[in-house]
Copies of this chain bind each other. A is one copy, B any other.
């Protein structure tokens, strides 16, 4: 496996392309992007905006939104090659039958404006055959220290877990930053607290690391906090999470 096509130039595709360009064992033949692309780092002649223009590649990595994976896999202008998607929730079987199927799911949060060190990104693989697994595993280890085999069912639970520990955590940061900004409190003074919150779960079970008014059942503070939240959405979030922490505390 030497040649690779990347389909999609969103957050995942962008970082995959920019990482693979520095790996000499593999060659990117084409990058498909629906919309025109300008790039200082990528040879612009690699880009195509019509799937029929793709050259045949040993591996095709489809890094597009879940709802488009099936259709795009059916429109590839070649057969009998290895075609993988990069989604945490889309199944292996949803890929079109005309090519060999696989999943190459990097467990990370990607934003175009923030560089990523792929060597720290666990890559979750699924294939139909041992041969294809070994090919993907080799690519995976070229990019990352951590390559794991997960079936479609496990990957969906992994993705669900990632929503809680990353997407929802980021939303907590969004709400916290809003409150801090409104009260002229510099947000950077929370960084040590946030970093310690993360560091703790490496040595303690998260449920045993819980601190704050909810786990202490400190209803005076909880009531005071609720009075200070103006946004109804955020107030409901405060109530629901506080109750959930109190419920979990009772089980300890």
Name A's B-contacting residues (CB within 8 A). Answer: 11, 65-67, 89, 107-111, 113-114, 116, 120-122, 146, 148, 150, 153-154, 156-177, 179-180, 182-185, 188-216, 218, 220-221, 224-225, 228-229, 233-234, 236-238, 240-241, 243-245, 247-248
Do A229 and B160 touch across chains, with their CB atoms under 8 A apart? yes
Contacts of A158 in B (CB 8 A): 180, 183, 185, 189
Number of copies of chain A assembled together? 2
Do B146 and A161 touch across chains, with their CB atoms under 8 A apart? no
C-alpha spacing A111/B229, complex, angstroms: 27
Contacts of A65 in B (CB 8 A): 216, 218
**Known A-B contacts A11-B211, A247-B233; A146 and B189 likewise in contact (beta carbons under 8 Å):** yes
Enumerate 28 A-B pairs (CB-CB under 8 Å) in ascending A order: A89-B213, A89-B224, A107-B189, A107-B193, A109-B197, A109-B211, A110-B211, A111-B200, A111-B208, A113-B203, A122-B189, A154-B183, A160-B179, A160-B225, A163-B214, A165-B173, A166-B193, A166-B196, A167-B210, A168-B172, A169-B197, A170-B197, A171-B210, A173-B201, A188-B202, A233-B240, A233-B244, A237-B241
CB nearest to A213 among chain B residues: B163
**What is the interface of chain A mostly: helix, strand, loop, or mixed?**
helix
Do B210 and A170 touch across chains, with their CB atoms under 8 A apart? yes
Contacts of A159 in B (CB 8 A): 221, 225
Do B114 and A174 touch across chains, with their CB atoms under 8 A apart? no
Contacts of A11 in B (CB 8 A): 211
**Known A-B contacts A185-B157, A192-B121; A240 and B238 likewise in contact (beta carbons under 8 Å):** no
C-alpha spacing A238/B203, complex, angstroms: 26
Instruction: Name the one of B121, B162, B193 contacting A162, with C-beta atoms under 8 angstroms.
Output: B193
